[in-house]
Amino acid sequence: MAIDLPEPTPAEREHSETLAAFIRNEIAASGPLPFSRFMELAMYAPGLGYYSAGKTKFGADGDFVTAPELGSLFARCVARAVAPTLRELGPDAQMLELGGGSGAFAADCLRELAALDALPSRYLLLEPSADLRQRQRERLQAQPAGIAARAVWIDRPPEDDWHGVLFANEVLDALPATRFSLRDGEVFEEHVVDADGGFASIDLPADGFTANAVRHVERDLGHGLADGYRSEVLPQLPYWIQAVCGGLQRGMALFVDYGYARREYYRDERRDGTLIAMYRHRAHTDVLARVGLQDLTAFVDFSALAEAGTGAGFRIAGLGTQADFLIANGLDEVFAAAHAAAPDEAARYRLAQEVKRLTLPAEMGETFKVMAFER
């Protein structure tokens, strides 16, 4: 898609060039990089990747807005959804949030859980970004002591068995995606090469891991994908789910993200996939540019998520749109209370706009889905 993008600042450009040189060095040493590896480095290279460095990601000064950054309504509804599980599991129940963004969700959710008498014994945050960890600490330390003391940052999923709730909002879309294409009935994988100081894509024959993932999609669809068709798969998803959820012996795992069921995801007309870049609130397809300065994201195949969750021993407790989920978990009551407590007309207007962004079909209401697993 052709779109005018703002120019990076000199400091941003220098940062991007440093990361680009790092990626080019790996290409020089290892040859063409699978796109998934390029995306991993662009997003998570230590100290340089989009989520590893200090660039503002969320809000008006960032590149995109997530539901928790709009206000407290989203987090308060999630708290109402998970409170019965936390109370049932007792005083040792924990809650684990993957990612965590600015810490807005954790702060709002914990305050609502406190009001519902359902605080977990610990609120674990698994956050790979040192910059975001610091922002989360500052926000949560400003909360009442009984809330702030429950926040604990961890470097990897719990190794010991635990029970409680796992929550992930817009995490799956940021997993490094494998890009594939079909040519003469064979599966190819997209790779990235150095091209005169920039980057370009080439297709190489897929290895068995990627080819099997694509063939599984075709078998489930009941037909082969057309020649020239290009899209994404996450062949690592079952292993990732097992890694992050495997220790959760009793409780709930809740995933919120934008995406489709498989038959919708791989429709014939969606023949170039769903991968986009987000830069200063503009979506575009130049995913190899501005490395480290823009978010790379692909929609989620919720059928693949369902397979991964059930394969890890969970039961599917529910799947629906974000709008339906929020309404079912007290959005009207939460909004009414917030509206009554709003100090002025401007605050009431912001609340109304927040509800629209969260629920309208043209906004987040239908594109975003919520999938819940239980064990």
Give the model's pLDDT for residue 51: 87
Judge residue 181's burial from the number of C-beta atoms within 10 Å of its C-beta, 0-12 exposed, 13-18 middle, 19 or more buried.
Answer: buried
Q: How far is CA 368 from CA 172, 259, 270, in A?
A: 12, 6, 18
Q: Which residue has the tokens 């605080």?
A: 119
| pTM for the full predicted model | 0.94
What pLDDT score does 310 carry? 98
DSSP 24-86: HHHHHHH-SEEHHHHHHHHHHSTTTSTTTS----BSTTSSB--HHHH-SHHHHHHHHHHHHHH
Q: Which amino acid is present at 320?
A: G
The conformation of residue 298, written as its DSSP 8-state character, comes to -
CA 59 vs. chain centroid, Å, equals: 16
Which stretches of the chain drop beneath a pLDDT of 70?
1-3, 54-64
Per-residue model confidence (pLDDT) at position 1: 45
Contact 70, 76 (CB under 8 A): no
Question: Model confidence over 290-345: pLDDT tens digits?
Answer: 999 999 999 999 999 999 999 999 999 999 999 999 999 999 999 999 999 999 99
Give the position of tokens 């100081």: 197
Q: How far from 248 is each of 110, 144, 165, 352, CA to CA, in Å?
A: 20, 28, 8, 37
10-62+174-242+256-304: CATH topology is Rossmann fold (3.40.50)
Structure tokens at 11: 């400091």
Specify which residues 258 forms β-bridges with.
Answer: 368
